[in-house]
Amino acid sequence: MSDSPVRREPWHTLTQWTSARIALGRAGGSMPTASVLEFNSDHALARDAIHMPLDTSALRERLAEAGFDTLRAWSRAQDRSEYLRRPDLGRMLDPECASSLRADNTQREGVLTVVVADGLSALAPASHALPLLEMLRNGLQRWTLDPVVMATQARVALGDAIGELRGAEAVLMLIGERPGLKSPDSLGAYLTYRPRIGRMDSERNCVSNIRPVGLSYEQAAFRLLHLLGQARIVGATGISLKDNSDNALGLQGA
């Protein structure tokens, strides 16, 4: 008989398959101390991820070393506090950076513009954007990769304005997702065909939870490359484009 005051849940073995907070056990009428401390630690990491700024200089240097040209952009939100209080400002491009983003031609067929943005977790793009970009670059066919645009205080819709200025056929926004208690570094990828200001969320496809303990870089790149090819055929993304990349993967392995 154990002397520990903690009562272990009979289904505790399932925790080996998930990082979710399940089967925490009980210590009398309360949670075990270890579970409480773990919760507080995870909560602190999530809060830090939201408020931590994206080190654009360091990321730009790493991208340059990997052979990517870069541009800079930022939203109309002046600082992190305003960004969190005013989501609308995070969707609008600051006019000061528009001139440096404007391409020579109004529409450039076959151009994919990738935007790497801080979003709600700068930790996510800082950790995962580069390895994902390298896999995407290696798999691109019949697409020209535009210089990577690094955007700060950005929401997903900021990519529409950037893509329109770049004259891109498609824009891919790699952005930090809202941190969870076990996922402070989750990267989201939002693909929009024929980007322009005013596009709705229903007009883009999302590949979520990109990180080593979530959706791997290889799996995410495969899904995004498949969606890119299908978007050109359909002429749209979002609700008009069903993600059937799982079926394509099965055919590829057959």
- Domains, the chain, with CATH or none: 56-253 (3.40.50.11240)
Out of 6-10, 37-41, 168-172, 247-251, the most confident range is 168-172
Residue with tokens 């645009």: 149
Residue 13 pLDDT greater than 60, yes or no: yes
At 148 the pLDDT is 98
| Contact residues for 236 (Cβ-Cβ < 8 A; gap 6+) | 193, 194, 203
- The tens digit of pLDDT for each residue in 34-85 reads 888 888 888 888 888 888 899 999 999 999 999 999 999 999 999 999 999 9
Share above pLDDT 70 across residues of the chain, in percent, rounded to a whole number: 95
- The tens digit of pLDDT for each residue in 103-116 reads 776 677 899 999 99
Q: What distance in Å separates the CA atoms of residue 187 and residue 158, rounded to the nearest whole number?
A: 16
Residue 2 pLDDT greater than 70, yes or no: no
At 252 the pLDDT is 52
The counts of H helices and E strands in the chain are 9, 9
Terminal CA-to-CA distance of the chain, rounded, Å?
53
In angstroms, what CA-CA distances link 244 with 79, 139, 251?
39, 18, 11
At 251 the pLDDT is 42
Q: What distance in Å separates the CA atoms of residue 191 and residue 240, rounded to the nearest whole number?
A: 13
Task: Assess contact for 173 and 115: CB atoms under 8 A.
Answer: yes
Q: What distance in Å separates the CA atoms of residue 49 and residue 189, rounded to the nearest whole number?
A: 18
Share above pLDDT 90 across residues of the chain, in percent, rounded to a whole number: 67
Residue with tokens 């983003």: 101
Segment among 3-12, 78-87, 114-123 with least mean pLDDT = 3-12
At 51 the pLDDT is 87
